[in-house]
Amino acid sequence: MSEANSNPLAAVSTFSTVPNQSLLQKIDPRARIASTLLFAFAVVLSEQLIGLIFALVIAVIMAFVAKLPLVKTLKKLAAMDLFMLYLLLMLPFTVPGDSFITLFGFHGSWQGLEQGIKISLKANAVVLMLFATVTNLSSSALGSALQALKVSTKLIQLLLFTLRYLAVITDEYQRLRRSMRARAFVMKFNWHSWHTIGNLIGMMLVRSMHRSERILKAMKCRGYNGQFVSYLPMRWQSADSVYCCTMALLTALIIALNFIHFS
């Protein structure tokens, strides 16, 4: 069984989803990253529902263009939307405003519900756009694109190392958990359980440090000198300019919708 099948974080560690031949795969990574950042800033700063709904529609269309696997994408969004559901349930009772429901003496406001809906729309639009444009980049393409965009080399390496070894840390955690279950450990709310979990965290830190030292020695043997070197050639084409102009126009439309008030 491959690593991607045995570990759900394996795909994340390589920052690549299922390979496809979508139109977005032909767009320069620099254009995709820059346009997505511009889109995300516009969405996060938007406050009108019509603008946020329009942004979510754009993100959904981009997801279809990117040919994202439907079931896997929905599962990832569902994990985030569980927290969004918590906000939708709590904000009406914590934000003052016009009451529309009363439960156990607490009044739920329309303003709080509206704020929760806005946050949910923003999160889903931005995350879905990231899935469509950025997460299907390979690690080398991501690093090269960030370097071309003048991002700090140290930040790039930190990001790539995190993505690469996230699955490794998860595997280490699973091995330690299996050894605990083999010794009949059952998690309970008592001192013994917390003490055991503390030992688990400590062992993960120690093993992570030892592994990092071995990785560093192996990298130095291969000539690593602390610099990120990109071997991925990038060529800006006319399609990239069209993509950037289209995304800039759609982003400008999202911003413009914030200044339109509907009665």
∠169-173-178 over CA atoms, to 5°?
A: 150
The answer to whether the CB of 24 falls within 8 A of the CB of 136 is yes
Residue 110: is its pLDDT beyond 80?
Answer: yes
Q: Sketch the domain layout of the chain as residue ranges.
A: 17-136+240-263, 139-226
Residue 207 to residue 69: CA distance in whole angstroms? 35
Q: How far, in Å, are 87, 95, 122 from residue 114 at the CA level?
A: 11, 10, 12
pLDDT, tens digit, for every residue of 173-191? Answer: 899 899 998 988 888 888 9
7 has a pLDDT exceeding 80: no
φ/ψ of 150, rounded to 5, equals 65, 30
The per-residue pLDDT for 53 is 93
Residue range 5-24: average pLDDT?
51
What's the rounded mean pLDDT across residues 117-132?
93
- Could you tell me which residue, 129 or 161, shows the higher pLDDT? 129
pLDDT at 4: 43
Residue 150: DSSP 8-state: T
Structure tokens, 62 = 């981009």
Q: How confident is the model at residue 20 (pLDDT cuts 50, 70, 90)?
A: low
